[in-house]
Amino acid sequence: MYSHGTNAKRSTLATAAMLAVAVLLSACDRDTSDLDRYMEDVKARPATEIEPIPRVQTFERVTYAPQGRRDPFTPDQRSAGLMGLIEETTEPPPGHDRAREPLEDFPLDSLRMVGTLELGGTRWALIRATDGVVHRVREGNHMGSNYGRVVDITESRIQLQEQVPDGTGGWMERSASMSLAE
């Protein structure tokens, strides 16, 4: 059994829905003269030529004959190392048997040269690490995470020789430098 209030609500909702549909339908305008004008303008335009379909370029088939060449689908040692397919280094790093120096705990780009000083004929460079401590280094000291050895110190620059993996299981030398921070 339904109560009288429920039926009244349903009829009110149905009336409101029909009224909304009527309003929406009355908003549609049957005047399409602007659309008809636009279609006439488009049809009156001169026809343009359609470009011909480009010819498909055919390629000459070549048969690969290795005859002593390496397989092009197998990476060589250097490429494999760069792509991470082989272990990056198999040899221990140069100087791995020596005691590490304090500045080797920091990447080279995080260290800042803040000055130089000369004591007893030896030139020292002053280096500030990210922990705020200022260290002094001279030729032969090591710094940076790539086994960098200080090879020259001028008033405004430090030259280093770093040892970096070569991608084939070995090591190669690379020059690096650090300038006096402004």
> What's this model's pTM, rounded to 2 decimal places?
0.51
Domains of the chain: 102-179 (2.30.30.830)
4 pLDDT above the threshold of 70: no
Q: pLDDT per residue over 131-167, tens digit each?
A: 999 999 999 999 998 889 999 999 999 999 998 887 7
Identify the residue with better confidence: 39 or 11: 39
CA distance 105 to 109: 12
Average pLDDT rounded to a whole number, residues 47-76 = 82
Asked whether 104 and 145 are in contact (CB, 8 A), the reply is: yes
Q: Where are the beta strands (DSSP E) in the chain?
A: 112-119, 122-128, 134-137, 142-143, 148-153, 157-165, 171-179
Quick one: what percent of the chain has pLDDT higher than 90?
Answer: 37
CA distance 94 to 172: 10
10 Å Cβ neighbour count for 85? Answer: 10
| DSSP per residue, 125-167 | EEEE-TTS-EEEE-TT-EETTTTEEEEEE-SSEEEEEEEEE-S
| Burial of 89 per CB tally in 10 Å (0-12, 13-18, 19+) | middle
182 pLDDT above the threshold of 70: no
